[in-house]
Amino acid sequence: MIKKKITKKIACPKCGKIVDCKGLPGEKKIIICPECHTKGFFSFPEVKTEKIEEKVKRLAILQIPYIIVVILILVAHFIFYNNDMAIFLSFMLIIPFFVFLEFDSRILIGYAVLMLALSIIILGFIDNEIYVNQLSTYAYWLLVAGFICITIDYFRK
């Protein structure tokens, strides 16, 4: 890994003259004041840099609950479109994931509010009641699942 040089301004403890000092992170340098010729040591601090791969992994892990909810909605819409019991069961199966993995249950409620807003927009502009009813059903089950998860979290604490 290539380290960048750091420039620090250091004041002489004896005369107060400010000296520019360059060095690599973790390097210890001897500094001599140009005015009073006082010698001193300065250690450049280590710079902790995180690799890009580690940042991407951490970001991907944080996105898992959002991805699970989107997959759930897509499965409910494209696979279980006319089967109300399968839609109900698929939305209830998300509760153990959110409870045991301790995901934030407000994500479910946020998606429900988003779906209700989307259904209002569809009803206002497109006037397609079939999609509005389907989105409202998904929003209802997301609200129920979110409320159950919040209740479980409340009693857990």
Please indicate whether residue 56 or residue 125 has the higher confidence score (pLDDT): 125
Alpha-carbon gap, residue 66 to 102, rounded angstroms: 13
Q: How far apart are CA 153 and CA 108, in angstroms?
A: 14
Does the pLDDT of residue 49 top 80, yes or no? no
* C-alpha triplet 92, 104, 107: angle, nearest 5°: 70
Q: Which of 11, 51, 50, 48 is nearest to 33 (CA)?
A: 11
Specify the residue for token string 């699942």.
145
State pTM to two decimals.
0.64
Element (H, E) at 73: helix 64-78
pLDDT digits (tens, 9 = 90+) for 56-76: 788 888 899 999 999 999 999
Query: How far, CA to CA in Å, does 136 sit from each of 72, 133, 143?
Result: 15, 5, 10
* Residue-range domain boundaries for the chain: 6-43, 55-156
